[in-house]
Amino acid sequence: MTAIVRDDMIGVDAAVLEKSRVYCRELTQREAKNFYYGLKLLPEPKRSAMYALYAYMRMVDDIADDESNGRTVAQRKGDLEQWEQLTHEAIHAGTEGNGSLPRGHILWPAFSEMVRRYRVPGHLFDDMIAGQRQDLEPVAIGTFQELHEYCYRVASVVGLASLYVWGFEGGEATLKLSVDRGIAFQLTNVLRDLREDAARGRCYLPREDLERFGVSERELAAGAGGAIPEGFLSLMRFEIERAEGFYRSSASLDEKVRADSRPTLVAMTGIYRGILQKIAEDPTRVMRGRVRLSTFNKLMIGWRAMRGK
């Protein structure tokens, strides 16, 4: 007879659950260029829960980006709506114990277990999907407030979900700190990916900032080919300082996270902030290629995080 793992909420076939965990771990190891080094520092079962969270985020991202077989924006929006419904079913099964897991993907058992065990609020996953749905529309960010909302949906909600897995103290004040850390991470991504986005006809920098420094989206697209527009350095210094401001405003977040999870947050922050600092050394670098930290540097950041240094 097949072994069954049961508790007061949900019964799951043990072999299927383990297969789901392995899938999430392998996907994270393969795709999470910066997250994986931090997540490896977590103890079990938090590590597996975070693999499930990352795998879920990756699946949502892939659905939004799937242009295979000529899939249109409308079709991908429909796919996201279907995924949102499946997510609700998985959360319902995991937290209330009176529903069945969705069929059709090996992700769901590990995802449902993560939501149930750590009581991750379901609305965060709706917000994640809303962020991907927003990305399917033409990018039109006029103000920093609009950029802040976008960053919240694609980054801060991930940090908030992670907090529930890691464990934290401080209530709403700590959640606010986590939002700011997520904004810092995503602003770093926006600057790092400026060249790639411009080449695709996308710009996530607020139009009000471009106008302030006399840089146009067309010039950024041209800059992706090597010509650096006038005003670019001033624009970049302004955006770098804005991102640094969110790292500073969320500095006390680390001490609010449970001690066994703190090295992961410290390492992930060190990697993202290290990328931003590398950009600050030469802002024009983002127009020549993607700015990365070496594997050695990431490992050293992880080692220092474990040592509490």
pLDDT, tens digit (0-9, with 9 covering 90-100), for 281-293: 999 999 988 898 8
Does 216 have pLDDT greater than 60? yes
Contacts of 76 (CB under 8 A, 6+ apart): 63, 64, 66, 136
Mean pLDDT of 82-90: 93
pLDDT at 11: 53
CA 71 to chain centre: 24
Contacts of 260 (CB under 8 A, 6+ apart): 42, 43, 46, 167
When pLDDT is cut at 50, 70 and 90, the band that residue 33 belongs to is confident
238/182 Cα distance (integer angstroms): 19
The token pair that represents 219 in the structure block: 């010039």
Say which residue, 134 or 126, is predicted with more confidence: 126
One-letter identity of residue 14: A
Q: Mind listing the pLDDT tens digit for each residue in 97-132?
A: 555 677 778 999 999 999 999 999 999 999 999 999
| Peptide bond preceding 102 in cis form (omega within 30 of 0) | no
* pTM of the entire predicted model: 0.89
Domain extents in the chain:
12-122, 138-309
Architecture of domain 138-309: Orthogonal Bundle (1.10)
Measured CA to CA in angstroms, residue 262 lies from 42, 166, 207 at distances of 9, 8, 37
Least confident of 16-20, 90-94, 214-218: 90-94
When pLDDT is cut at 50, 70 and 90, the band that residue 146 belongs to is very high
pLDDT at 77: 93
SS3 at position 9: coil
Angle of the 295-307 helix axis to the 262-281 helix axis, nearest 10: 140
- Under a CB-based contact definition with an 8 Å cutoff, are residues 141 and 147 in contact? yes
Least confident of 36-45, 211-220, 276-285, 298-307: 298-307
